[in-house]
Each structure stands twice: as structure tokens, then as C-alpha cells.
Amino acid sequence: MFYKEWIKTRWALLLILIVTCGYVGYELLNFLRAIGAMGGAHIWIAMIMKDEPMFVRHLQFIPLMAGVALACVQFFPEMYHKCLKLTLHLPCSHLRMMFEMLGFGLASLLVCFGLNYLILWLGMRPSLAPELYGKMLLVALPWYLAGLAAYLLSAWIILEGSWARRIFNLVVMFLCLKVFYLSSFPGAYVPFLPCLIVFVLACILLPWISIDRFKKGIE
Amino acid sequence: MRKLANIILGIIIALLVVWELPWLYNNYAVSFLHGDEIGGQPFTLYSGLADDFIQNTDGGQGRRGISGRDYTVEEADSLLPFFWTTQLVNAGRLPDTIRGYAVTPQLIRQTNINYHHRAYDSHSNRPNCGLWLLLESLPKRVNLEDPDDAFRFTEDGIEFVNMNTGKVKPKKSKLFTDALVKKGFAFPIHELDGNPDTRKEYDEGYLLIDNNRRMYHLKMTAGQPFVKKIDRVDETVVPKFIFVTEFRSRCLRGLMTDENNVLYVITPDYEVKPLGNDIHYDPTQSNMMIMGNMLDWTLRITTEEAEEFYAVSALDYSLLKTFIAPYRSNPYLPGLHFTETLDRWVKPRFN
């Protein structure tokens, strides 16, 4: 199953990796250029005094787009070429197959997002105090969780057979993802992060509703 | 598994409904249905000459006292000479003396005060990165300058970090830690407030509350620490929040609230005195505005229940007049919210 998913998504994953890391690199270049032009002290003062997501703000919707893109690449062919029907005829547990498909996607996104975080951390660590780069990494955390949630909710929508239900699911997805973008105040989400993580974990089960309806032939 | 998935979807949809529907109603329907009933008091200022709170009416075109008396705009200008100074100067109506005190436009500008504190400014109502900036209070040039280091409070001291290299300055850290310890400061810190903006006229550094709930004043003068212990008004008053004011007139060091939310002033000679007669202010739940002059101050404290106006004497901090305007019945629909105007946190709350 993992190999099948890898064959299907490898080029898309490479593109997602290049785009997300490219954006992170762009933010880091801006950061290093600002340090070079104005000096470290000036950047520290701006970061202490301003409650803004400095040097990560362009990343805001990148993880979300990455999650939606991966779900499209992974599950559109399943529906369009009716591969899902074949997959569901394999002599394996349907639930396990779904978890393996979603697990592959989630693991790929986690590797990609983890790499983004590693690049950000390595780039900012030499020039900033832990309090300051921690502030930037915390700002971006809900956005990356939104990326994971967007992947699972997109899978839920794409695997749904009925268009009316797809539109309903799309509205639910939009409102759910809105929760991840209510504030860009650094650290504002800290008390809420455990709830968001639980929400993302709970979303793993939603595609099962679509698959179950698909099995029943609801279109 | 299908059942569990459907239960999760049901919970998500229920949460979205109790979040979005009240939001739609409160943001769009309330102003349409209750347009005139909501909204706070108009701009209100205490006039010491009339001993009355004077409010703007008719969209700023009229003036009315809370005593019920109507004033013309010109009368109100004369009754609030410290606020409408420029208007009176232009009209050639600014008196030489007000209530026996000689005044000039320059003196009025010098002694007028304006202070705001919003609930979301309180440290418990917002995330803090834990790094602070300490300016040099006696700069070589006229203007205040940005420092080249930032500081953090640790469990047992204060630590200065060079902002260009990211390395701790051990000598300066020890110098300031020793100065604080010498005055009896107990680490870790409980609360602090300061304003490291260089565009102000002078710097008062930070007001601190230590782990034993004692107040201290810390600033840097000529590179050396200046630490002053501030005595409590009495031992039963336990400081909770402290605020640096840095008014142009230097009439105060700062403000302080205690465990019972009673508001105090810290005078220039470090005396702590209650402001008004037992004025209560919870900095985490209400907003406060002070507009004042050399003779009296108007305090507006906005709580969830009412808008409270207090007039206090700038000379002895005694209460002159009170006006409390409770809000009318709350037309807002309760629901799930993730953000509040009182704090900066994103978290679920039902109200």
C-alpha cells in the first residue's frame, strides 16, 4: 500500500517539499538580509516590541495548500479512475487500508513540515535568543497543524461520492480551518494547541464516513 | 468505527453551530435590532469648575452635564479649559488663572496627563516572550537611545544578553543582580512593567514586584543600576499589578493595584497612596483611561457591567465625584468563542 501511494505521489511530494522549503528559505533570506542591513540588535528590538509574526508571515497558507494538494494528488485518481473500488475489493481490512493511505500522507507531510521547522530553527538559532525564535516557531505551529487538518478534511471531501454532501463537507472544512487562523499574535494559540492536536487526530476518522458511503454506492 | 466517525462529525458540526450562529447574530442582527441600545457612554470629562461630568451629545455638537444641565459648546470649552486649551487660546478666552492657579498654554500642555491600560496589556492576558529592554535613563545625547542588550529574569537573577552576539553579559548581569539582592529583592519576579520606547521624553526603567510581593524601582543611570525599594502603604496591602506611567509632568512614578484590586498611586517620592476613595480596578478584566490636568483627573474604568467615571483631585488623590453608568440589558446571544477583547489568547470559552 505504501509503495502504491509512493508511486502515485512521489513527484507531487517532491514539488510540495521544494515549494514549502523554498518559502521557508525565502523567509530566512529576508531575515538574514535584515540582520545584515540593520544589525542584530535592531531585529531583536523589533521582535521584542512588536507582536507580529515577523519573518514567517508568508508561510501562513503554505502548509494548508500543501495539505490540500497532497490530498488531491492522492485521492482524485482513486475516485476518477475508480481505483478505490478495486482497492476495496482487495482481501484486506478496508479500515486498515484507509489508515495506511492516510498514514502515508500524514507521514509525508510531517516529514516535509518537520524539515521546514528544522530549516527555520537552524537559520534563526545563531542570530536570535531562544525566546525570539521560539516566538516565531510558535506562531507557525497552528498553520502547520492546519496543513495536516486540511489534508484529512480534503481526503474526506474527495472520497465522498455525492456532490451535495461534498459541498456540505467543504463548508465544514472551511469553518474548521478558520479556527487555525483566528490570530497571528505570537504564542496566542499555546493554551489551545492540545485541543487542535486532538482535533487533527479526530479528523483521521472522517474519511471513513465517505468510504463507508462509497461502499454503499451513495453518489 | 463508522459510528465513532459519525459521532466525531456530529460533535464538530455542533461546535461549529454554537460558534458561528451566535457570531452571525451578534455581529449583524444585534446592531440592526438594538442599534440605539448598545454602545457605551459618549466622551465624558470632569469639570472642576462646574463640579460636573460633561458629556458630548448629538454626535459632538452639544454638551450635557450628568447633573442634567445643558451647556453650549462655548460654555463647555470654558468649563474644561485644560482640555480645550487650543480652542480657548484661538478665541482669546484662556484665563490667566484657573481656580487660583496661574496657567499658560505651555504649563497646561506640560501638566496634562493621558494614560490608557487595556485588559489585554496585562501580562497574564497575553503571551510574553520573556525578554525586556532597559534603556539608559541618563543618555549622553538629548534623546533616549536603543540599548545593545536585552534582559530576562531567571529563577535567581537578572541576565543581560548582547543582542549582536547573542551571548550573556556576565559582568552586567552580576552587577544588576547584586544591586537587586542588596536591596532585598526576592527572585523569581512576580510582575514588572516598563516602557522601553525611545520616543518618550524620559525613562523611568521598570517597576517590579518580587516573589515576596515587595515593590522595587529599577533603572539604569550612567550604566549603573539604580534600585529603590518602595514601601507598602501597610503590610495588609499586597501588590498584584504595577504600571509605569512616565507622565510628562513627572507627577507620578506609577500606579499599583493590590490583591483586592484597589488602585493606588506611587508618588515621585515613592509614597504609595490610595487613588480616590477605594477605587477598584481589575487590570485583567477591565480597561482604564485617565485624562487629567494639574488640578483633577477623570478616570474611566470600563468593566463588563458598567462604565465607571471617577473624578479625583490631582493634588491629594481624594475622590471628587463618581458617575457609574450600567450597561443596559445584554442583547448578545451566548455562544462558543475562541477570542476575546480582554485578552490575546485563542482558546475555547462559552459566554
Q: What is the mean pLDDT of residues A35-51?
A: 91
Of the candidates A41, A51, A95, which has its C-beta nearest B163's C-beta?
A41
pLDDT at residue number A4: 80
CB count within 10 Å of CB A81 equals: 10
CB contact under 8 A, B146 and A187: no
Q: Strand, helix or coil at A68?
A: helix
ipTM of the complex: 0.90
Model confidence at A213, pLDDT cuts 50, 70, 90, reads confident
Nearest to A139 by CA among A21, A66, A54, A201: A54
CB contact under 8 A, B8 and A128: no
CB count within 10 Å of CB B138 equals: 15
* CB contact set of B349 (below 8 Å; sequence gap of 6+): B336, B337, B338, B340
Model confidence at B280, pLDDT cuts 50, 70, 90, reads very high
CB contact under 8 A, A208 and B1: yes
CB contact under 8 A, A212 and B2: yes
* B22 vs B85: CA distance, rounded Å: 46
Model confidence at B329, pLDDT cuts 50, 70, 90, reads low
Does the pLDDT value for residue B36 go beyond 70? no
Q: Which long-range contacts (CB under 8 A, 24 or more apart) does A33-41 make?
A: A35/A127, A39/B164, A40/A127, A40/B163, A40/B164, A40/B165, A40/B166, A41/B146, A41/B147, A41/B148, A41/B163, A41/B164
- Strand-pairing partners, residue B255, are B243, B265
| Residue-level length of chain B | 351
Least confident of B33-42, B89-98, B127-136: B33-42
Half-sphere exposure of B140 (CA within 13 A, CB side): 2
* Angstroms from B116 CA to nearest CA on chain A: 18
| Grid cell of A9 as nine digits | 505521489
Testing the interface with A: which of B19, B129, B195 to mutate, by most A Cβ within 10 A? Answer: B129
* Angstroms from A15 CA to nearest CA on chain B: 32
Model confidence at A81, pLDDT cuts 50, 70, 90, reads confident
CB proximity A114 to B under 8 Å: no
Instruction: Give me the total of CB pairs closer than 8 Å, taking one residue from chain A and one from chain B.
Output: 109
pLDDT digits (tens, 9 = 90+) for A137-162: 999 999 999 999 999 999 999 998 88
CB contact under 8 A, A208 and B161: no
- pLDDT top residue among A79 and B104: B104
CB contact under 8 A, A209 and B9: yes
